[in-house]
Amino acid sequence: MYYSRLKMMGVLGICLLGLLLCIPNFMRAPAPHMPWRQIHLGLDLRGGSYLLMRLDQQSLAGDRLQTLEDEARQALLDKGLGYRDFQRDAAHRILSFAPRDAGEAEAAMKVVAALPQTVSNEFSVANQDGRIVLTLGREAVAQRAREAISQSIEIVRRRIDGTGAIDPEITREGDDRIVVELPGISDPQRIKALLGTTAKMTFRLLANSAGGTTAPPGATMLTDISTGQPLPVSDHVEVDGGDLTNAGAVIDQQSGNWAVTFTFDRSGARAFADTTRANVGRRFAIVLDNKVIEAPVIQTPITGGNGQITGNFTAQSATDLALMLRAGALPAPLSVIEQRSIGPSLGADSIRAGGISLGVGFVLVILFMVLFYGRFGLYANVALLANLVLMTAILSLFQATLTLPGMAGMLLTLGMAVDANILINERIREEVGRGRTALAAMQAGFERATSTIVDSNATAFLAHVMLFVFGTGPVRGFALTITIGIVTTLFTTLLLSRLLMVRWYALTRPSVLPV
Amino acid sequence: MLSCPLFRFVRDDKRIPFMRGRYAGLTTSAVLSLLSVVLFFAPGLKLGLDFRGGIVVEAHTQGPADFGKLRAALAEQHITAAGIQSFGAPDDVLIQLDMPSSGPQQEAETQQMVDHVRHAVVEAQPGTQVLRADAVGASVSKELFRDGLLALGSSLAMILIYIWVRFEWEFAVSAVITLVLDLTKTVGFLAITRFQFDLVMVAAILTILGYSTNDKVVVYDRVRENLRKYRTMPLRELLDLSINETLNRTLGTSSTVFLAALPLAIFGGHSLSGFATVMLFGIVVGTSSSIFIAAPLLLLMGEKRLRRNKVAS
């Protein structure tokens, strides 16, 4: 039972350090130059929104098939091979066409198979009943999705930062998902709209045969959002929104309406100038996500690299469009698949309810322990308190997020810590009953209880580690608190409780133990 | 007051012959678990939003909620709610919408719908605060369900392996059978009480499993120790002895955990009280099964083998 001075200092030092690490949690705004770390309150406690967004892999596959088709057509033409009936099926990641005549199938296949691939084994080519079928590999699409997600996270961050949201958290989940957490925003409608728009802007000429309802070859009918009319827009992109360097919302001097101004970079400005110079008198469409915002007639060449869109904007929609143009286009559409919003008052209620429950539970446990085990029960309570402090300290260090299930986990940890202390006290009592001296009983009791405590805590530890690994959301937070709690429980019961008992014994040298 | 304990659950020299009631205990447990399995299929669990998908909006109206107005406002948006009800106070409204079919189209719709519902509620009764608005797509809810079961299964497997390694297979098998019996009873309890079965409930069930295992490990630990200590004592007597020796601890721990969870069940509010109530049930079940199920199973399985092995070695 001997406790070296060094060990004693160590145990007390850790407790003190824990206390120190807890302090920032009770400060409203910790000093910025100090490395304070606080526990974050989960959205369920402070209110806010949680959005789980999924990247549309099919759209990525569709984009890739489109470029492959363009490349294939060009390559076939270069070799003097004919083709007809190109078809794309994004859902099955398939591009297919028929060769001009069956005899050229072999040659056409060779040409298509030689197309550049962005990753190895990106696609496979086969001849199915006379049609040449090109299939994108599942893994290749998944890899594109992974890249697109990394890109999207940056863009999503820029867009959300532009709205002035405070402390948003944007994290990637799995291959094709993004989690957005917005503290304090309990109605995320604007953010959802902002993130639900790809904001792919292109500048394209209107096809010559304007009028009529079917698009001429090389053009597509797109809806004009201000008039609702379909317009035949050329598929060829003259200038891409990616060439923008800046955008802003302004009030148009002439009409007094909201407008969005933009500035091109050097190459964008040159392309824009060339196009407008060569096409004076034609209509030039500004297309956002396959919808025409505006299609003005080119009056004079625009060479300054600046432009202005005057759609039917409100202050909000002009600001948001400018924001999206500045932040850049998303590589593929993102759709919200899970949304959870908690109002601030509900969060406050939960904190109060949880706090009261924790407090009352703690008082009941403390009373019980003193009634049940007297002085050693009191020591167990000190250990419990230290346990709570250490748990808070570690959670602060991790800057963990405390949620309602996490609070429940803390409560459960208290129960398990009590169990460990009870096991020790019961063992000591047994050893006293066997007629051992006080010191021998304490020593034997501790030793025997230790293996039981380690066994039961190790089982719980492993079970909760599995829970953390396989669980999601609230289950994970819960598992994390308990896993940390088990470590602090072992420390406080096996070292701190023991220290208190040993010191008490050394000071008083009792012949009878208070168990 | 600090010099000695004020009370104990049972006197230290008390010897209760628990094994005498082993068949009664096993039969009662089996019947209850069987009933629970029946309850699981009919009426079944009340699946929460997490596993069912759909929309839940909780709102706090100014003054008592006018359900007619709310329903009309929703109908105007072509929304038929699966349920509009008050919970707790008359000015607390809970609106639920089911989204049975899946598909990307449906998920986008779910997301739009939650905004419509939110605005319909505020328009119908100005001053209404939306406390919570959740929308879970069908694909997500399926995943959450699968992940929840996976988490449950893997932690159960971990418990099995650990006990098997640290003790002997009779211990591991008895423990796992007991845990499965505990688990089914908890599911039955959920079916009867109609608590929403969601991710938080999965956490509650896992806690019960963890707690129950903890309880059994302590008793088994004592059995193992006594098997070494009393090499000729019949297993039945030995089990009775082990249970009695650990009885004060078993009851003491259960009481404290029970006391710790009790305020949570009473004051925990809407979101925590269900969790805590299930925990309370689990503590009672877990404690009683350590005594009346796990030990008798060990006796049935190990009466010959455990003893003979020990004597021979």
| Domain co-membership, A310 together with A367 | no
Q: Is residue A415 part of a domain?
A: yes
Q: Is residue A369 part of a domain?
A: yes
Residue for token pair 């999206």: A324
Contact A31, A406 (CB under 8 A): no
Q: A139, A171, A206: which is the final residue of a domain?
A: A139
Which residue out of B109, B128, B215, B267 would a mutagenesis test of the A interface target, given it has the greatest number of A Cβ atoms within 10 Å?
B267
A4, pLDDT greater than 90: no
Torsional sign, CA A497, A499, A501, A504:
negative
| Domain co-membership, A361 together with A493 | yes
- Check residue A416 and give its pLDDT: 83
How much is the mean pLDDT over chain A? 87
Give 3-state DSSP helix, strand, coil % of chain B, rounded to 5: 70, 10, 20
* Fold category of B18-47+141-307 in CATH: Multidrug efflux transporter AcrB transmembrane fold (1.20.1640)
pLDDT per position as a tens digit, B97-143: 887 566 666 777 788 888 888 888 888 888 888 888 999 888 888 88
Residue pairs between chains A and B whose CB atoms are closer than 8 Å = 270
| Domain co-membership, A121 together with A16 | no
What residue of B is the nearest CA neighbor of A43? Answer: B132
What residue of A is the nearest CA neighbor of B201? Answer: A475
Are the Cβ atoms of B150 and A475 closer than 8 angstroms?
A: no
Which residue out of A55, A187, A346 would a mutagenesis test of the B interface target, given it has the greatest number of B Cβ atoms within 10 Å?
A346
Q: Is residue A153 part of a domain?
A: no
CA distance B41 to chain A (A): 25
| Domain co-membership, A307 together with A358 | no
Torsional sign, CA A426, A429, A435, A439:
positive
| Domain co-membership, A362 together with A437 | yes
Residue A464 is part of a domain; what is its CATH number? Answer: 1.20.1640.10
Are the Cβ atoms of B111 and A471 closer than 8 angstroms?
A: no
Are the Cβ atoms of A422 and B249 closer than 8 angstroms?
A: yes
Residue A251 is part of a domain; what is its CATH number? Answer: 3.30.1360.200
Above 0.90 for ipTM, yes or no?
no
Which residues on A lie below 8 Å from B255 (Cβ)? 368
Are the Cβ atoms of B261 and A415 closer than 8 angstroms?
A: yes
| Domain co-membership, A367 together with A501 | yes
- Check residue A399 and give its pLDDT: 86
CA distance B126 to chain A (A): 16
Are the Cβ atoms of A422 and B252 closer than 8 angstroms?
A: yes
- Count CB neighbours of A261 within 10 A: 18
B247, pLDDT greater than 90: yes
**What is the share, in percent, of chain B residues with pLDDT greater than 70?**
92
Domain limits of chain B?
18-47+141-307, 54-136
Q: Amino acid identity of B128?
A: T
Q: Is residue A256 part of a domain?
A: yes
Number of domains in chain A: 3
Domain that holds residue A313: 198-330
Q: Which CATH architecture has domain B54-136?
A: 2-Layer Sandwich (3.30)
| Domain co-membership, A71 together with A21 | no
Q: A139, A159, A180: which is the final residue of a domain?
A: A139
What residue of A is the nearest CA neighbor of B128? Answer: A343
Q: Is residue A270 part of a domain?
A: yes
Please give the DSSP secondary-structure letter assigned to residue A187: -
| Domain co-membership, A119 together with A264 | no
Q: Is residue A491 part of a domain?
A: yes
pLDDT per position as a tens digit, A365-421: 899 999 888 889 999 999 999 999 999 999 999 888 888 778 778 877 888 888 999
Nearest to A339 among B134, B245, B266 (CB): B134
CA distance B162 to chain A (A): 7
| Domain co-membership, A398 together with A501 | yes
pLDDT per position as a tens digit, B297-308: 999 988 776 665
A300: helix, coil or strand? coil
Are the Cβ atoms of A408 and B132 closer than 8 angstroms?
A: no
A302, pLDDT greater than 60: yes
Q: Is residue A150 part of a domain?
A: no
Contact B79, B170 (CB under 8 A): no
Are the Cβ atoms of B107 and A515 closer than 8 angstroms?
A: no
Q: Is residue A394 part of a domain?
A: yes
| Domain co-membership, A115 together with A253 | no
| Domain co-membership, A206 together with A104 | no
C-alpha A172/C-alpha A198 separation (Å) is 18
A253-265: average pLDDT: 88
Give yes or no on whether B18-47+141-307 and B54-136 have one common fold: no
| Domain co-membership, A97 together with A226 | no
CA distance A238 to chain B (A): 32
Contact A196, A336 (CB under 8 A): yes
Q: A88, A123, A139: which is the final residue of a domain?
A: A139
